[in-house]
Amino acid sequence: MIDSAYDAMSNGESIDPSDIADLVAERDAIQSQIDHSTVNEIMSLSMQVLDMMTDMSRRNVAVGKKVADAILDRPRGIRQNQIDGARRQAEEVAIQKAKNPGASVQTEQYLRDSNGKILKGDDNRGRRLDIVVIKDGKVVGNPIEVTSMNASKRQQLSREASIHANSSVFVRDRTTGNLVEISGLISRVERRP
């Protein structure tokens, strides 16, 4: 049908509206087949990866065993820590929103230079702040590092202090895209279960 339409147009003929409707239906059917095929390919690839990992763990290949062990341990250990960390952070965000009406409470903010480039500490790593409160283009109070009752934050705070010691420090306000100075404001640690 599409070929017939092209032939008709190339010969200067007009196309009947019902033919156009048929072409649209044919196009939609083809697109549906493509979409279905793409989903099936993604599912097939995912299954191949899962099968490969299962096979590797069954053969007790060192890498496969490590991957399988990590997957099995993740729900109990690492995943629970991530869930608890996210919960703690969400609780603190709610507290800061209540304390600072109209402010933007932002999470996971890197310390940056005046050009927006991520700054690095003495250990050559960047520092990402858990929570920063920004209102009217200014940081409100010190940033907040939210953690468990007994986790050491010495390394992160040391990195943060070394960054502040070497230059002017900014964060990028996600609501405006502007850099907001945070020089000298070291994170305070907020611990909760």
DSSP one-letter code for 184: T
Give residue limits of the domains in the chain: 2-73, 102-191
Structural contact between residues 140 and 102, judged by C-beta atoms closer than 8 angstroms = no
Sorted by sequence, the CB contacts under 8 Å of residue 119 that are 6+ apart come out as: 110, 111, 112, 113, 126, 127, 163, 166, 167, 169
Cα→Cα distances 139→24, 106, 118, 177, Å:
55, 11, 18, 14
Q: What is the pLDDT of residue 84?
A: 82
- d(C-alpha 169, C-alpha 184), whole Å: 8
Q: Is-contact 32 18, C-beta < 8 A?
A: no
Beta bridge partners of 109: 129
Average pLDDT per consecutive 10 residues, the chain (193 residues; last block may be shorter): 54 60 62 55 58 55 53 56 83 92 93 94 91 96 94 92 92 94 95 91
pLDDT at residue 70, rounded to an integer: 55
